[in-house]
Each structure stands twice: as C-alpha cells, then as structure tokens.
Structure 1
C-alpha cells in the first residue's frame, strides 16, 4: 500500500506546476479509497478460495454481490440515515463502497455470509469435464490382429499354408 506524498515543499520552489501536483495528490487519494473496505484473499485448497472483507456497520441487505463475465462486484450502500445522532468521534466508516475482483475462468461463487462485521465470499474453480485434461490409453499392438500381419512366420503343413 502506498502512502500519500506531501507536495508542499514542491509548491514553494516551483511555479505553474500546481495543477500537476493536485492531480498527483488526487490520484493517491483515489488509490487509498480503492483499498476500502480492507479485504483478504486466501487460497483454501487446490481449487478453493476465500475473500474476507471488513464491512463493520453494514447489514446483509445493504451489501450486494454480483458475478458477471469473469468479475465479482461487491457493493455496499448504507440505508437510512444517522439523523438525530451526534458523534463526538466517528471512526467506523459507513460510506458506500464498490470493489471489483477479476476471476479466472470457471471460478464461481459458492457461498457468502456476513458475521461479526466480516463478509466472507467462498469461491471454487469448477472446470467442466469436457475441458479437463484426460489420459489417453496407448495400445501395445498385442490386442490388434490383422490377417497376414501378425509378424509370425507362416506354417506349412502337408503342402498347404496354414
């Protein structure tokens, strides 16, 4: 994770670059927003994965999971308002979020749950049988016989070929 840079020393020693520094500052802010909410991606087995997202304060009705065209989209939008509440300190973020995970071919969401402020999404790679590698048996030639091609010398009995 990158940290924000302080461009103020550059403002003091340059003229006319303020727009460039503002764009750089905005890009670092957008990058930090893309990392919210924090999440883990774990490999649980050969073809099983687990995404865990910290979404404290959100209910299952306020979170939507959508899988489409090789992507998993996780969005969260708080419903209702905090009217009438007066916060002395507000450290639990309740802002809307949108997180996109790119999925490999044949990876499907098999389950999702929300417990203790953690959203857990289970994924599994399910390759169709037709696309799985298959072993092809090679015959040794012993099982295949054709007339006159068995590599055995012909026996002749009483003047006739056997």
Structure 2
C-alpha cells in the first residue's frame, strides 16, 4: 500500500468476529447482560438484517465477555491499524528465563520467516498463499519482539538520581 491509497475497510471482518463471539458466549445471557432482547441481538448479528450492529452494541458485548473473546473482538481493528497487542509485563514478574525463552521464540520466528521467504521467491514470484503466510509470520514476529521488549522494560532498573 502506498501513501496515497487508504486501507480498504471490510466491515464483514469486524462483524464476523462479533457474530462468532456472540454465538460462542450464549446469546441469551449476553443479550440480557447488554440490555437487549434476544430477538434484537439475533437481528443485529444477522448478515441480511437492515438494522446493523451499532458500536455501542459491540462495546457492550466486549465488556460482557471473557478476555479471550475480547481479544478476538479487537483483533480485526488491530489488523486494520497494522498493529499487534501483547500483554503488559509488570515490574518484578519477569525472570531471566522468561526473557531467554522469548529470545529463542523470536529467533525461531525469524528462522521460519527466512524459510518462507526462500520458498516464496524460489520461482521468482510471490503468490497469494505465500503472501498470506509471509504476512502471518511477520505479525507473529512483531508480537514476539513486542513481548520481548515488554519483558525487558519490566526488568528495567529505575534511574538513580545522585544529589550534590
């Protein structure tokens, strides 16, 4: 994508995530939790219904599901922004072993990326499947590196100020 073209927005990507989460989290209970009738919730997540899902509905669903489903709801938005999210590491909760394991994960990710690149360019072209694999591996590497940097930040010592 060059700097003159806006990223394409595919609303189905966002709505598919909402639809999947709603039906995995018991729609009857979820409807009650967000103050909506079950019939209304079913209509909102239906693909062909003229009454679309509203942002306030998505936010209500987000706050009333578990963390795993929350991550699945925000994943399409992060993808749209070209971002990855990793859990924050709290100071004192990271060990040297955690960091070393993250370094190894990142190195394995880089190796997998190199293998994908080698296979993709072997014939002088990158097809759609290869491009998708490369993009997925790139995202995995970004996440691994962000995790590693978060761990290192959690191990950072505060700056000591020496007074005169």
Q: Give yes or no for TM over 0.5.
A: no
Q: Which has the larger radius of gyration?
A: 1
Q: TM-score, normalised by structure 1?
A: 0.28
- Indicate the structure whose relative CO is greater, using CA pairs within 8 Å and at least 6 residues apart: 2
Q: TM-score, normalised by structure 2?
A: 0.28
